[in-house]
Amino acid sequence: MTPELLEAGARQREAHAQAPLPKATQSGDREAAFGRVLATGQPDFAHGVALYLEDITVSFDGFKALNQLSLTVDVGELRCIIGPNGAGKTTMMDVITGKTRPQQGSASFGANIDLLRLRENEIAQIGIGRKFQKPTVFEQLNVFENLELALKADRRARASLRAKLNSADLDRIAEVLQLTHLRSLAHLQAGLLSHGQKQWLEIGMLLMQEPKLLLLDEPVAGMTDEETERTAELFLTLEGKHSLVVVEHDMSFVATLTQGFKKVTVLHEGSVLAEGRLGLAPKPGREPIPHELFELFPVLKQMLHRRGGDLSGGQQQQLAIARALAAGPKVLILDEPTEGIQPSIIKDIGRVLRRLADVGWRGERMAVVLVEQFYDFAAELADHYLVMERGEVVQRGRGKDMEADGVRGRLAI
Ligand SMILES: Nc1ncnc2c1ncn2[C@@H]1O[C@H](COP(=O)(O)OP(=O)(O)O)[C@@H](O)[C@H]1O
Ligand SMILES: [Mg+2]
């Protein structure tokens, strides 16, 4: 939500409220079916799906930021979307909110509302709220006034901006203050809030409009650990009442949100690379340990009754991978698994990753995303590589071409 969108929404509603009601004879007319009437239409959620994206392609001067992207999000679902920088995550949100028009594909809200025919402010009105990466609140107003403004921007006519709040409005504001942990700060000027609190306020402003679908782009970037935890709590509270799409880099935040069983979508080069459960450790003692784990990591069988803390660094790393696999993930993400580990165990880990990528895990195919500084290890394993520098992908190619592409020279070590 941005101030401009709030403004545009208010103007639109005012115009709508003042416009004469459509004549009955217009109902069979194409204009009536596809025009502004949609702005007040309700999404049809009868099939349980809140958002359908199908075959969406967005090109910028021939470069495909989205490439035949297809995705559905269920009503009440909390879906995390992860992927490297430049994968197209923000562009996907731009398409859903009408900021960017795709060259190809379809996008609908519920079964019936064609998002590609609506303007940005109309999409906001039908119940799709978006939180941009940077917080955008009215810094001069206090927290309460920010929420009040968001509420009023959602009213039919601009005239009501001068109207008094009724008790239902006050209840709603109190509820949102509570949810966003801002109750005690209601009368503080928004400009004085911490970064995390501003983010919550903006989420609160979105909630005032009672969106059915909330899009959140890297909502915990720059937050403290404690703020991140509270944000996870907030999202878990909202789940079910709203559909949420959360784009996020912070894997521990994603892990908290998905609780080991929710679906995660991995975007890569504008398409869905994989979808499924993340490789997260299940709560201990819930399920028997799959015997395949000991085939991959025989050493763990010998160590079964040792405490994790007594294992060597390499064994701990193997245990961490084994725990991730125990959840039956479709995507395994590893952040520098070789750091501080002896060469023979690095070799063992490499063999395991190669096998997982080649034959999958427990009868299902698996994608492995390896983040690594150790060039030789990565070069030996990679089917495809991406080189990142300062938050950007600066080079990409096939693993077997890494040497010829001069990737080694890009690494400091
Ligand atoms: N308006 C634009 N013009 C040209 N290229 C763009 C534009 N917006 C995004 N891109 C490119 O599209 C790709 C996807 O960007 P983005 O959706 O922001 O990725 P993410 O949010 O996953 O990091 C990037 O390579 C980016 O440089
Ligand atoms: Mg982005």
- Answer yes or no: are the C-beta atoms of 335 and 371 closer than 8 Å: yes
User: 34 CA distance to ligand 2 centroid (A)?
Assistant: 32
For residue 365, what pLDDT is reported?
Answer: 87
* Residue 402 counted as domain residue: no
Ligand closest to CA 133: 2
Q: For residue 408, is it within any domain?
A: no
pLDDT at 279: 64
Of ligand 1's listed atoms, the one at least distance from the Cα of 58 is: 12
Q: Both 226 and 133 in a single domain? A: yes
Secondary-structure percent of the chain, ordered helix, strand, coil, rounded to 5: 45, 25, 35
Q: Does the reported pTM lie above 0.85? A: no
16 and 155 housed in the same domain: yes
The residue out of 212, 244, 277 marking a domain boundary is 277
User: Do 38 and 149 share a domain, yes or no?
Assistant: yes
Are 365 and 402 contacting, i.e. CB atoms less than 8 angstroms apart? no
260-279 per-position pLDDT tens digit: 789 999 999 999 998 988 76
Query: What is the rounded distance in angstroms from the CA atom of residue 398 to the CA atom of residue 386?
Result: 9
pLDDT value of residue 202? 94
Kindly state whether residues 320 and 271 are assigned to the same domain. no
Whether 215 and 298 share a structural domain = no
- Judge contact between 270 and 264, C-beta under 8 A: no
How far apart (Å, rounded) are the C-alpha atoms in residues 366 and 360?
5
What pairing do the DSSP bridges indicate for beta strands 263-268 and 49-60?
A: unpaired
pLDDT digits (tens, 9 = 90+) for 34-77: 333 444 578 999 999 999 999 999 999 999 999 999 999 999 99
Is 398 part of any domain? no
Measured by CA distance, the residue closest to atom 3 of ligand 1 is 60
**Is residue 311 domain-resident?**
yes
Residues 263 and 322 both lie in one domain: no
Q: Is residue 221 part of a domain?
A: yes
The CA-based angle 356-71-46, given to 5 degrees, is 130
With a cut of 90, say whether residue 336 has pLDDT above it. no
Beta strand 367-371 with 331-335 is parallel
Decide if 216 contacts 246 (C-beta within 8 A).
yes
Residue 18 has pLDDT above 70, yes or no: no
Ligand 2 geometric centre to CA of 86 (Å) = 7
CA 112 to chain centre: 24
CA of 218 to the centre of ligand 2 (A): 7
Per the domain annotation, does 376 fall within a domain?
Answer: yes
Q: Which ligand is nearest to the CA of 396?
A: 1
Higher pLDDT, residue 336 or 95: 95
Q: Span 82-86, mean pLDDT?
A: 90
Last residue of a domain, one of 253, 277, 301: 277
Read off the pLDDT of residues 206-246 as tens digits, 9 standing for 90 and up.
999 899 999 999 999 888 989 999 999 999 999 999 999 99
One domain for residues 54 and 200? yes
Task: Report which DSSP code applies to 134.
Answer: S
pLDDT in tens, 144-189: 999 999 886 655 444 455 567 788 889 999 999 999 999 999 999 9
Q: Into how many domains does the chain fold?
A: 2
Are residues 222 and 370 located together in one domain of the fold? no
The last residue of one of the domains, among 221, 250, 277, is 277
3-class DSSP state for residue 62?
Answer: coil
Q: Which ligand is in closest contact with the Cα of 95?
A: 1
CA distances from 387 to 81, 202, 205, 390 (A): 21, 34, 38, 10
**311 band by pLDDT with thresholds 50, 70 and 90:** confident
- Number of neighbours of residue 47 by Cβ within 10 angstroms: 12
Residue 285 pLDDT more than 90? Answer: no
| Phi-psi sector, 201: left (phi>0), alpha (psi -120 to 50), beta | alpha
CA torsion through residues 143, 177, 197, 99, sign: negative
Question: What is the CB neighbour count within 10 angstroms for residue 375?
Answer: 16
Q: Check the CA dihedral 285-288-290-296 and report its sign.
A: positive
Q: Where are the beta strands (DSSP E) in 119-231?
A: 128-131, 213-217
- pLDDT for residue 308: 66
Question: Residue 34 has what pLDDT?
Answer: 37
- 331 — phi, psi (to 5°)? -125, 130
Nearest alpha carbon, ligand 1 atom 10: 65
* Residue identifier of the C-alpha nearest atom 1 of ligand 1: 60
Of the candidates 42, 1, 40, 18, the residue with the CA atom closest to the CA atom of residue 160: 18
Distance 91 CA to ligand 1 centre (A): 6
Same domain as 166, residue 74:
yes
pLDDT higher for 186 or 319?
186
User: Is residue 391 one of the residues assigned to a domain?
Assistant: no
Output the CA 55–ligand 2 centroid distance in Å. Answer: 20
Which domain covers residue 189, as residue numbers? 3-277
> Do 92 and 207 belong together in one domain?
yes
Mutate to test the pocket of ligand 1, among 56, 58, 91 (most ligand atoms within 8 A of CB): 91
Judged by DSSP in three states, 352 sits in helix
Q: Are residues 21 and 90 in the same domain?
A: yes
CB 50 within 8 A of CB 110: yes
Pocket of ligand 1 (CB under 6 A): 60, 65, 83, 85-91
pLDDT at 20 over 50: no
Q: CA-to-CA distance for 273 and 139, rounded, in angstroms?
A: 40
How high does pLDDT run on average in the chain? 84
Count how many residues are written for the chain: 413
Q: Are residues 309 and 249 in the same domain?
A: no
Contact between residue 6 and residue 150 where contact means Cβ atoms under 8 Å apart:
yes
Residue 399, SS3 per DSSP: helix
Distance 95 CA to ligand 1 centre (A): 12
The CATH number of the domain where 268 resides is what?
3.40.50.300
Query: Could you tell me if residue 88 is inside a domain?
Result: yes
